[in-house]
Amino acid sequence: MAQSRMKKMIQVLIVLLALLALAWVLLRMLPPGFDTDLTQIGGGERAVVLVHDHNFVESVELMEALDGVRQRQPEAMLYLVADLNTPRGQRFADNHDVDAVTLVLFDARGRTVAVRSGRLSREQIEDWLNEHLPPY
């Protein structure tokens, strides 16, 4: 009986360690400069949130394009990611009625300024940001 209990505890521990390792790997997949802390929205800086699912090629491509914008203008705003593979990211998507491959733009007070979905180039993202948050 004690051996069975110990075996079960070891299995649970292995599963927990595997989940932690997976979470660490997924967080490491974000390019530097992106953050998943969505509580920063409305904290006094404007923010763009990428609603992201790493299982979709289009989502990965949008992240790369947004990273190009971030590299050119790192101080322009917060660059955040709502990862749909996490409860927090899914809650964000549900609350804003959006899905993967979507950008949600917020002003400094946390009000939604604009939403754009689909494939976009770096230039298209920059134009969209300029249109909604001048001067960019």
For residue range 49-91, what is the model confidence (pLDDT) as tens digits?
999 998 899 999 999 999 999 988 888 899 999 999 999 999 9
Pair 26, 73 in one domain: no
First to last CA, the chain: 66
Q: Quick one: angle between helices 57-72 and 122-132, nearest 10? A: 60
- Please state, as a whole number, how many other Cβ atoms lie within 10 Å of the Cβ of residue 115: 15
How many domains does the chain contain in total? Answer: 2
Pair 19, 53 in one domain: no
13 has pLDDT over 80: yes
- Looking at residue 89, its pLDDT comes to 93
Pair 54, 107 in one domain: yes
State which residues form the domain around 56: 32-132
pTM for this prediction: 0.76
Pair 78, 20 in one domain: no
Pair 12, 79 in one domain: no
